[in-house]
Amino acid sequence: MARSMASLLLALLLIGSGWEYLPGQGFVNSDTGDIKTPEAFLALGEKLHADHKFDETAEAMGVLTASPVDAALRERGLLLRARALAAAGRLVEARDEYIRFVQVFPDSARGPAAREELMRTDLARAREGDLQSVLGLPLYRSSRSAVQALKETLLRFSREECTDDYYLRLAVFFVEQGDTLLAEDELTFILENYPMSDSAPRALLLRARLRLNRFDGIDYDLKPLIDAKRDYEKFAGDFLRHAEDPARLRQLGLDPERLKAMEAQVREGLRFVNSKQAEKELALANFYLFRDRPRSAKVYLDSILKNFSATPSAVEAKRLLETLGK
C-alpha cells in the first residue's frame, strides 16, 4: 500500500512538472516553458538515472516512450525506464517493461542484456516476495508468483548465455528457503539440459551436497548416500579429467585453483560416503555374529576389506575376520 501511494505521488509530481510531447516542438514543460528535443529529453532521463533519481527517470521515460519519437530513441528510453523501475524496487512494473522491450525490439543489440536483466529482476522479486493481503490487510510475503514468473522467463529464453546460471541461482534460492527438493529438481534440470555449461560442475556438486544432507544415519535408507556417491563419481569422470585442458576449463568457468578446490570437496564427499557404507556393512556383520551366523557376517566383513579398505571400519572388520579364522 505504501509503495502504491508513493507511485501515485510520483505520478502526480511528474504531471505537475508539465512535460508533454508537442508535434513540431518536442518535449515541452508547461510549467517552466523549457523545450527539449527528443534527444535532449532522453539525455535528461539518463542524467536523472545517473543521479539515482530512479522514480523520476521511470516516469520521464514513460512520457518519451509514449510519444511518436524515432524508434532508436524509444528503444533506449524503454530500456532505461525498465532499469529505473528495477532500481527503484518497482519490480513488477520493471518486469512488464523488460518484456515490452524484448517484444517490441526483438533484434536489438541490447536484447541479451535486457533479457538477463529481466531474469535478475524476477529473481530479486522472488527474494523480496510479493505482499499478500487478507481483507485488505497486508499479512505476509510470498515468492510463489515471482518464482513462477522467473521459470516462465527462463523457459522462454532458454538459449541465452546466462539462462543456466539463473537456474542455478534459483536452486540456491530454494536452498536458502529450505526447499531442498525443489532445489534438487532445478539442479537436475541444469545437468540434463545444460550439461556443457559452466553451471554444470557447480550444480553437480551442490546436488551431491544436498543428497548427503538428507542422509539420516546408517539405521536408515542409504539411498541419499548412494545418489551422492554417484554424483561425486560423475564429477570426477566428467570434469576432473579436464584439469590439463585450459580451453575446456575456461568453457566451464573454472581455473586450476577452483577445480582443485572442487576436487577436494569430491574426495571429502566420497570419503564420508565410503565410511558410512562401511559402517552400515559392519553393523550388519555384527548383527549376524550376534545371531550366530558367522558365514553371513563374513560376507559383509569381506566386502568392507574389498571395497572400503581405507575406512576405520576396515580395521574392525579385519579384527573380526581374524577371530573367525577367516
User: What DSSP assignment string belongs to 17-51?
Assistant: HTEEEETTTEEEETTT--EE-HHHHHHHHHHHHHT
- pLDDT bin (cut points 50, 70, 90) of residue 142 is confident
Domain that holds residue 2: 1-88
Q: Is residue 222 part of a domain?
A: no
- 185-213 pLDDT, tens digit per residue, is 999 999 999 999 999 999 999 999 999 99
Residues 116 and 83 in one domain: no
Q: Please indicate, yes or no, whether residues 1 and 83 belong to a single structural domain of this protein.
A: yes
Distance in angstroms (rounded) separating the CA atoms of residues 97 and 4: 17
Is 243 inside a domain boundary? no
**Rounded Cα distance, 2 and 9, in Å:** 11
State which H helix or E strand residue 138 sits in. Answer: strand 137-142
User: Grid coordinates standing for 19?
Assistant: 512535460
pLDDT band at 134; cut points 50, 70, 90: low
Q: Tens digit of pLDDT for each residue in 2-41?
A: 444 444 444 444 443 578 999 989 999 888 889 999 999 9
In a domain, 303, yes or no: no
- Indicate whether 118 and 81 sit together in one domain: no
147 found inside a domain:
yes
**Which of the two residues, 163 and 2, has the higher pLDDT score?**
163
Q: What is the pLDDT of residues 266-296, one digit of tens each?
A: 999 999 999 999 999 999 999 999 999 999 9
**Do residue 185 and residue 150 come from a single domain?**
yes
Query: What is the predicted pLDDT for the residue at 54?
Result: 97
124 and 64, same structural domain? no
Instruction: Please indicate, yes or no, whether residues 83 and 150 belong to a single structural domain of this protein.
Output: no
Average pLDDT over residues 248-270: 90
- Over pLDDT 70: what percentage of the chain? 92
- Is 319's pLDDT higher than 50? yes
**Least confidently predicted of 17-21, 133-137, 284-288, 309-313:** 133-137
Indicate whether 208 belongs to any domain.
Answer: no
* pLDDT at residue 284, rounded to an integer: 95
Q: What is the pLDDT of residue 8?
A: 41
Average pLDDT of the residues of the chain:
91
- Does the residue 51 lie in any domain? yes
70 and 22 fall within a common domain: yes
pLDDT, position 17:
55
**pLDDT score at 13:** 43
pLDDT at 130: 77
Same domain (yes/no): 69, 115: no
Whose cell is 527503484? That residue is 88
Answer yes or no: do 37 and 115 share one domain: no
**Has residue 216 been placed in a domain?**
no
Whether the predicted pLDDT of 251 surpasses 90? no
Q: What are phi and psi of 131, to 5 degrees?
A: -70, 125
Same domain, 78 and 116: no
- Number of structural domains (the chain) is 2
The answer to whether position 1 is within a domain reads yes
